[in-house]
């Protein structure tokens, strides 16, 4: 790296390590005790073993291991802004139908809107001609990259969430965005960087890799990376995804993602499926039920208390992997549109850039044990209309003010095909 580039990274690292970043979402306590489990609204129990390729939405993925909670991706090489430092990235979406199928990644046409009112949200890259006369991929030159050197810290609160403090384990520089285009093209790709440098790589405390990187092989004959995946729900079915970037520091910690504040300017807050939006909705809860043996557990408090969220993720941390794969320790967030939905209007509205909708069950709903695990976007909105779910601290329910880059990988049992109920906010004919 050049001296100026190293200086920028060190200044950023010292600023992050100097103090804990307090969670901004709640001032009120979110205590709740586990209620007796019921099967209402619960997705099917996760299967085990290796997921069939027919259940992948990203067809280029090499393997999804449900027992280890990992997805194995093809790895791509690029170079940082100094032109020398190698960076390693994956590709998960493209805004063009033909190119998404050529690369075997998710088709996400909303990504074409990413630069609306935020040109910097799409990083322009250039191709570096590959040497030799054999068929090979040309590396990309990136103008911005993440700094993986900070140590991720999470200090749980008395009830898990809100936490007492948090510090992201990775942060993008001023020019970094995972959403890229190649100079001369208008196609937008989702290409998160997962490692920086020549290796050998630190896949335990993640000082040069993303906090979800559990294994990486940069041998030109191999070129693979294993990433810790997440379980969630869509339209009543259990789905799998990864989280790579977040625009809020607390969300970046909980998601084990790179903090990229620039993405908060991506079009647009509350945009969902409206004209010009690059976002889709994702729903999370602050005070769902907890308990690793409770099939109704869900939410940020459950993730922290039962999902061992304060620990570093590594292939050696078998207790964490067990908590996620066997004990349903993920937050079980609920996503909106999904590539497999039967209605093309909704399938093509999929975007990996999720506009977080942070919900809090009312005291009355908790007392009546209505805060069960939710699996469907429209069902959640029905609860909102009935006054059972509000925003944090009793505020109006809606967009939480931050986004998360969460590419979907596939589905566990059956493909999500249609919402479980009607959207109460849909326009009437």
pLDDT digits (tens, 9 = 90+) for 361-377: 999 999 999 999 999 99
Which tokens sit at 110? 């909303």
Any idea which of 125-134, 241-250, 320-329, 390-399 has the lowest mean pLDDT? Answer: 125-134
pLDDT for residue 10: 46
Q: In sequence order, what DSSP letters do the residues of 69-138 get, joined into one string?
A: TEEEEE-EEEE-TTSSSEEEE---EESSHHHHHHHT-EE-GGGGGTTTT-GGGSEEEEE-PPSSSS--PP
Check whether the bond before 268 is cis (ω within 30° of 0). Answer: yes
44 within domain boundaries? yes
421 within domain boundaries? no
Which tokens sit at 278? 């690059």
Mean pLDDT of 196-222: 97
Any idea which of 14-23, 104-113, 405-414 has the lowest mean pLDDT? Answer: 14-23
Query: Does the structure show a pLDDT above 90 at 244?
Result: yes
- Cα separation, 138 vs 122, whole angstroms: 20
Three-state secondary-structure class, residue 10? helix
- Cα separation, 213 vs 241, whole angstroms: 14
Between the ranges 25-34, 70-79, 121-130, where is the mean pLDDT highest?
A: 70-79
**For all residues of the chain together, what is the average pLDDT?**
90
pTM for the complete prediction? 0.90
Which pLDDT tens digit goes with each residue over 54-85? 999 999 999 999 999 999 999 999 999 999 99
Query: What single DSSP character describes residue 377?
Result: H
CB 286 within 8 A of CB 296: no
Any idea which of 175-179, 299-303, 327-331 has the lowest mean pLDDT? Answer: 327-331
Parallel, antiparallel, or unpaired: how do β-strands 237-241 and 140-141 relate?
Answer: unpaired
Confidence class of residue 92 from pLDDT cuts 50, 70 and 90? Answer: very high
Query: Does the structure show a pLDDT above 50 at 35?
Result: no
pLDDT for residue 8: 42
10 within domain boundaries? no
Mean pLDDT of 201-207: 98
Mean pLDDT of 31-60: 67
Q: Specify the number of domains making up the chain.
A: 1
328 within domain boundaries? yes
User: In the chain, what is the straight-line distance between the N-terminal and C-terminal CA atoms, in Å?
Assistant: 59
- Cα separation, 412 vs 229, whole angstroms: 12
Please count the helices (runs of H) and the strands (runs of E) in the chain.
Answer: 8, 27
Query: Does the structure show a pLDDT above 90 at 38?
Result: no
Which pLDDT tens digit goes with each residue over 148-182? 999 999 999 999 999 999 999 999 999 999 999 99
Instruction: Output 15 or 319, whichever has higher pLDDT.
Output: 319
Three-state secondary-structure class, residue 341? coil
Name the percent of the chain lying above pLDDT 90.
Answer: 83
Non-local (6+) Cβ contacts of 15 within 8 A are none
422 within domain boundaries? no
Parallel, antiparallel, or unpaired: how do β-strands 179-182 and 280-285 relate?
Answer: unpaired
Name the percent of the chain lying above pLDDT 70.
Answer: 87
pLDDT for residue 46: 59
Three-state secondary-structure class, residue 217? strand
Question: Which range of residues forms the domain containing residue 351?
Answer: 21-411
CB 136 within 8 A of CB 125: no
- Cα separation, 302 vs 91, whole angstroms: 30
Confidence class of residue 130 from pLDDT cuts 50, 70 and 90? Answer: low
Confidence class of residue 136 from pLDDT cuts 50, 70 and 90? Answer: confident
Mean pLDDT of 306-312: 97
| Residues present in the chain in total | 429
Query: Does the structure show a pLDDT above 70 at 51?
Result: yes
Three-state secondary-structure class, residue 351? coil
pLDDT for residue 133: 54
| 319 phi, psi to nearest 5 deg | -65, -40
Any idea which of 20-34, 244-258, 336-350 has the lowest mean pLDDT? Answer: 20-34
Any idea which of 11-25, 51-65, 236-250 has the lowest mean pLDDT? Answer: 11-25
Q: Could you give the residue ranges of the DSSP H alpha helices within 280-343?
A: 300-306, 318-325
b/e sequence 91-114, b meaning 16+ C-beta within 10 Å: bbbbbbeeebeebebbbbbbbbbb
pLDDT for residue 15: 41
Which pLDDT tens digit goes with each residue over 379-403? 999 999 999 999 999 999 999 999 9
Query: Does the structure show a pLDDT above 80 at 338?
Result: yes
Query: What single DSSP character describes residue 21?
Result: B
- Cα separation, 334 vs 357, whole angstroms: 10
CA distances in angstroms from 315 to 122, 147, 361, 371, listed in the order given: 33, 22, 35, 33
296 within domain boundaries? yes
3 within domain boundaries? no
């Amino acid at each position: 790296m050049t001296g100026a580039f190293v200086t920028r990274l060190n200044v950023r690292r010292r600023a992050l390590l100097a103090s804990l970043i307090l969670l901004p979402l709640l001032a009120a306590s979110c205590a709740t005790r586990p209620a007796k489990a019921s099967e209402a609204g619960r997705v099917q129990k996760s299967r085990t073993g290796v997921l069939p390729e027919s259940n992948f939405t990203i067809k280029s993925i090499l393997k999804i291991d449900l027992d280890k909670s990992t997805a194995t991706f093809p790895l791509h090489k690029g170079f940082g802004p100094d032109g020398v430092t190698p960076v390693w990235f994956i590709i998960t979406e493209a805004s063009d139908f033909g190119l998404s199928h050529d690369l075997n990644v998710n088709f996400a046409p909303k990504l074409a809107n990413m630069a609306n009112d935020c040109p910097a949200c799409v990083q322009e890259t250039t191709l570096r001609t590959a040497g030799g006369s054999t068929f090979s991929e040309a590396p990309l030159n990136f103008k911005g990259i993440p700094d993986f050197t900070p140590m991720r810290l999470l200090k749980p609160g008395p009830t898990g969430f809100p936490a007492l403090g948090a510090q992201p384990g990775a942060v993008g520089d001023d020019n970094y965005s995972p959403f890229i285009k190649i100079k001369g093209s208008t196609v937008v790709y989702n290409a998160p960087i997962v490692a920086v440098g020549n290796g050998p790589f630190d896949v335990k405390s993640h000082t040069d890799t993303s906090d979800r990187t559990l294994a990486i092989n940069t041998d030109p004959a191999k070129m693979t990376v294993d990433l810790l995946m997440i379980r969630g729900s869509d339209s009543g079915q259990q789905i799998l995804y990864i989280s790579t970037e977040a625009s809020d520091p607390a969300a970046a910690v909980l998601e084990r993602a790179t903090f990229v504040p620039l993405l908060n300017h991506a079009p647009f807050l509350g945009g969902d499926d409206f004209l010009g939006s690059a976002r889709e909705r994702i729903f999370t809860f602050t005070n769902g039920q907890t308990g690793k043996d409770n099939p109704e557990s869900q939410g940020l408090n459950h993730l922290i208390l039962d999902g061992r969220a304060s620990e570093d993720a590594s292939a050696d941390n078998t207790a964490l992997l067990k908590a996620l794969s066997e004990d349903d320790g993920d937050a079980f967030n609920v996503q909106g549109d999904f590539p497999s939905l039967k209605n093309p209007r909704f399938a093509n509205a999929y975007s990996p850039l999720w506009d977080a909708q942070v919900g809090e069950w009312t005291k009355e709903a908790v007392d009546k044990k209505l805060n069960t695990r939710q699996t469907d976007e429209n069902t959640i909105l029905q609860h909102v209309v009935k006054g059972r779910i509000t925003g944090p601290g009793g505020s109006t329910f809606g967009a939480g003010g931050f986004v998360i880059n969460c590419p979907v990988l596939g589905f566990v049992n059956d493909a999500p095909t249609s919402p479980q109920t009607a959207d109460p906010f849909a326009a009437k004919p």
